[in-house]
């Protein structure tokens, strides 16, 4: 019998029965592939069949050790869906899959992966899909194999509702998602040898290329309600979070700074704490403080951040929300808005998953430190890393394709790109410039390009295409690497080496560095002055 090799997962949720079919759904293909790879155990000698348009991804994952071991022992049979199958109906494709696998003899207790993305299934109606699933179900019942039907793509929510209705066809349905840098397994229903489980959730962490179930993330009892806390209406806030002289309601109390407010945390249970962020605030320290409060004080505590100077960027917002913050406010000049928004979250429990540590979240931001021009193949790999980090942080990211006008030397527009933000990278292949903007929404692309490209893009580029969905960004990078594999792509790294005008390195005058504590703050040297010779007229 096959099982998910995930430490800490309940035996009922691990079990994969023979002569059964299970559906694994996720918004991204690597989510379903990684979970499928955890069902392969080296101790089992059964054959493994893989059908996918992205069959290489099964062997290239960091979880592929067991699969590669089985492949070396001639137990893996991969089938890649050719590009011409895109013109075939899904019914014809699946009939061919079942016919091909049925030709093999060792199907009893074999493990079969059939992977589709939602784009391949988009042209098929619900009745055809149900008929197709029943054909797979009849196939595994007759052969005794275990089938994992993998579906991934941006429209996965619609298929989740469909597979719930097909619970008489499939033996189980698990939805794989990512929330607050934590992988989540949502079991809608799951048949095992002793019965059925339903509505179960498991938070999964990565430990040494192995999934492990996260436990002990909350300290409070599940039976507590907001009415059980005496300090539910209490609000503690930093003085600088509201304009000076603001008259606050009775339950509002103020402290001097964020550190004083952090020290109040262990003394409250369900109160609201409002931190203030100015240009002098250490955001990393504040994020760690919010995480410690959320982890140790429970989920009924309300954590709010008032962005006083408007210095919090999109990625910073996502980091704070991932680390346990309930709400981020901007209306500093309107205390009435603050009061109403704080009231809107009182009585509610924080429900998002928490990461195991701050470091687990910050490692995704470290992946986005590269910026500027990259050789094309390295660019595609780096964009996949950036995109994966964006998914784990809940940050937006876009891939922009800019097609050059005819007879324009690529080096000229490349010189006009001046990247200032970490995570923004660009490259070129043939006559198309590829630009990845990290922590950028699709609606802000034109604005962002105006800030990093000195002239009008219409003077150099004939058209602009934007890919904003993380799934399609990753698919585009994989297809580009396959297309340019073995081909020569011009590397402009050397020619662009001197393009560092975006770096700010001013010369500091000596007068600025003088010791201001000396009795006389003066300097005889004035680098910004020019000598002027004054002459008197002879007749004066």
Predicted confidence (pLDDT) per residue in 395-411, tens digit: 788 999 999 998 888 89
Domain holding 387: CATH number?
A: 3.30.70
In total, how many domains does the chain have? 3
Q: Is residue 223 part of a domain?
A: no
Residues in the chain: 540
Question: Cβ atoms within 10 A of the Cβ of 486, count?
Answer: 5
Q: What do you get for the CA distance between the two ends of the chain, in Å? A: 113
**Nearest alpha carbon to residue 411 among 307, 493, 468, 340:** 493
Question: What range does the domain containing 97 cover?
Answer: 2-213
Q: Is residue 534 part of a domain?
A: no
Predicted confidence (pLDDT) per residue in 296-341, tens digit: 888 999 999 998 887 787 778 888 888 899 999 887 778 888 889 9
Predicted confidence (pLDDT) per residue in 343-370, tens digit: 999 888 898 888 878 887 777 776 666 7
| Whether residue 311 is found in the same domain as residue 399 | no
pLDDT for the residue numbered 314: 78
Per-residue pLDDT band for 162 (boundaries 50, 70, 90) equals confident
pLDDT for the residue numbered 512: 41
Residue at token pair 């050790």: 65
Q: Is residue 129 part of a domain?
A: yes
Per-residue pLDDT band for 85 (boundaries 50, 70, 90) equals low
Domain boundary among 325, 343, 360: 360
| Whether residue 207 is found in the same domain as residue 252 | no
DSSP structure string for 154-169 = TTHHHHHHHHHHTTTT
Say how far apart CA 354 and CA 189 lie, in whole Å. Answer: 24
Quick check: 524 pLDDT over 60?
Answer: no
Say how far apart CA 20 and CA 420 lie, in whole Å. Answer: 53
Mean of pLDDT values over 218-240: 69
**SS in 3 state form for 111-130?**
EEEEEEEHHHHCCCCHHHHH
Q: Which two tokens stand for residue 473?
A: 């960004």
Predicted confidence (pLDDT) per residue in 252-274, tens digit: 999 999 999 998 888 888 999 99
Residue at token pair 């876009």: 398
pLDDT for the residue numbered 180: 63
pLDDT for the residue numbered 501: 53
Mean of pLDDT values over 127-151: 92
Q: Is the dihedral of CA 316, 185, 128, 99 positive or negative?
A: positive
pLDDT for the residue numbered 84: 62
Say how far apart CA 475 and CA 119 lie, in whole Å. Answer: 12
| Whether residue 53 is found in the same domain as residue 142 | yes
**Nearest alpha carbon to residue 307 among 371, 216, 241:** 241
- Please report which residue ranges of 265-330 form alpha helices under DSSP H: 283-297, 314-322
Q: Pseudo-torsion of CA 147, 153, 157, 160, nearest 10°? A: -10
41 CA to centre of own chain:
29
Per-residue pLDDT band for 140 (boundaries 50, 70, 90) equals very high
Instruction: Decide: helix, strand or coil at residue 188.
Output: strand
| Whether residue 350 is found in the same domain as residue 286 | yes
Residue at token pair 């309940």: 10
What is the bridge-based pairing of β-strands 461-467 and 397-404? Answer: antiparallel
| Whether residue 325 is found in the same domain as residue 372 | no
**SS in 3 state form for 225-269?**
CHHHCCCCCCEEEEHHHCCCCCCCCCCEEEECCHHHHHHHHHHCC
Mean of pLDDT values over 21-31: 91
Q: Is residue 82 part of a domain?
A: yes
**Nearest alpha carbon to residue 117 among 176, 61, 53, 175:** 53
Q: Is residue 524 part of a domain?
A: no
Domain holding 79: CATH number?
A: 3.40.50.300
**Nearest alpha carbon to residue 329 among 451, 394, 235, 392:** 235
| Whether residue 393 is found in the same domain as residue 351 | no
pLDDT for the residue numbered 167: 87
Q: List Cα–Cα distances, 424 to 250, 386, 440, 455, in angstroms.
A: 48, 9, 10, 18
Quick check: 505 pLDDT over 60?
Answer: no
458 CA to centre of own chain:
32
Q: Is residue 113 part of a domain?
A: yes
| Whether residue 345 is found in the same domain as residue 385 | no
Say how far apart CA 369 and CA 359 lie, in whole Å. Answer: 16
Q: What is the DSSP letter of 209?
A: S
Determine what percent of the chain is predicted with pLDDT higher than 70.
Answer: 86
Q: Is residue 494 part of a domain?
A: no
Q: What is the DSSP letter of 417?
A: B
Helix (H) or strand (E) segment spanning residue 173: strand 172-179
| Whether residue 202 is found in the same domain as residue 67 | yes
> 109, 146 in Cβ contact below 8 A?
yes
pLDDT for the residue numbered 217: 39
Helix (H) or strand (E) segment spanning residue 92: helix 90-102
Phi, psi values for residue 477, rounded to 5°: -65, -40
| Whether residue 150 is found in the same domain as residue 81 | yes
Domain boundary among 360, 382, 403: 360
Domain boundary among 360, 378, 404: 360
Report the b/e string of 244-255 with b at 16+ CB within 10 A.
Answer: eeeeeeeebebb
Q: Mean pLDDT across the chain, nearest whole number?
A: 84
> 176, 24 in Cβ contact below 8 A?
yes
Domain holding 334: CATH number?
A: 3.40.50
Q: Which two tokens stand for residue 6?
A: 């995930």
List, in sequence order, every beta strand (DSSP E) within 43-101: 48-52, 76-80
């Amino acid at each position: 019998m096959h099982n998910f090799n995930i430490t800490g997962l309940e035996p009922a949720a691990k079990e994969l029965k023979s002569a059964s079919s299970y559906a694994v759904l996720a918004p991204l293909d690597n989510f379903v592939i990684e979970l499928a790879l955890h069902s392969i155990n080296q101790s089992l000698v059964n054959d493994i069949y893989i059908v996918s348009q992205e069959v290489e991804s099964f062997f290239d994952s960091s979880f592929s050790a067991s699969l590669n071991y089985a492949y070396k022992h001639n137990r893996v049979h991969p089938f890649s869906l050719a590009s011409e199958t895109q013109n075939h109906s899904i019914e014809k494709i699946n009939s061919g899959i079942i016919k091909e696998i049925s030709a093999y003899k060792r199907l009893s207790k074999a493990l079969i992966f059939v992977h589709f993305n939602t784009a391949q299934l988009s042209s098929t109606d619900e009745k055809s899909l149900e008929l197709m699933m029943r054909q797979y179900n009849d196939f595994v019942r007759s052969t005794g194999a275990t089938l994992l039907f993998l579906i991934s793509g941006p429209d996965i929510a619609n298929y989740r509702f469909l597979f719930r209705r097909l619970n008489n066809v499939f033996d189980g349905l698990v939805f794989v998602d990512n929330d607050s840098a934590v992988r989540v397994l949502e079991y809608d229903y799951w048949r095992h040898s002793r019965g059925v489980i339903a509505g179960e959730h498991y938070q999964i962490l990565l430990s040494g290329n192995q999934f492990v179930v996260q436990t002990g993330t909350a300290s409070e009892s599940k039976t507590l309600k907001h009415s059980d806390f005496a300090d539910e209406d209490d609000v503690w806030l930093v003085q600088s979070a509201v304009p000076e002289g603001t008259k606050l309601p009775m339950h509002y109390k103020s402290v001097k700074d964020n550190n004083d407010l952090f020290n109040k945390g262990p003394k409250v249970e369900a109160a609201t704490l409002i931190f203030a962020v100015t240009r002098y605030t250490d955001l990393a320290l504040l994020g760690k403080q919010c995480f410690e409060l959320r982890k140790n004080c429970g989920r009924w505590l309300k954590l709010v951040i008032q962005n006083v100077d408007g210095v919090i960027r999109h990625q910073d917002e996502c980091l704070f929300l991932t680390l346990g913050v309930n709400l981020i406010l901007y209306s500093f000049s309107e205390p009435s808005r603050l009061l109403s928004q704080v009231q809107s979250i009182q009585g509610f429990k924080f429900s998002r998953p928490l990461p195991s540590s701050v470091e687990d979240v910050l490692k995704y931001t470290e992946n986005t430190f590269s910026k500027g021009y990259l050789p094309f193949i390295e660019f595609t790999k780096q964009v996949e890393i950036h995109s994966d980090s964006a998914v784990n942080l809940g940050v937006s990211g876009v891939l922009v394709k800019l097609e050059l006008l005819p007879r324009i030397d690529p080096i000229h527009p490349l010189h006009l790109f001046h990247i200032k933000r970490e995570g923004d990278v660009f490259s070129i292949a043939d006559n198309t410039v590829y630009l990845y903007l990290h922590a950028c929404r699709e609606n802000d692309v034109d604005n962002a390009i105006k800030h990093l490209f000195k002239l009008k893009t219409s003077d150099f580029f004939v058209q602009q295409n934007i890919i904003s969905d993380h799934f399609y960004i990753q698919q585009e990078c994989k297809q580009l690497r396959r297309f340019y594999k073995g081909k020569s792509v011009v590397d402009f790294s050397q020619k662009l080496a001197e393009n560092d005008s975006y770096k700010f390195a001013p010369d500091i005058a000596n007068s600025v560095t003088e010791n201001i504590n000396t009795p006389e703050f003066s300097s005889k040297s004035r680098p910004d002055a020019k000598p002027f010779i004054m002459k008197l007229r002879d007749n004066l």
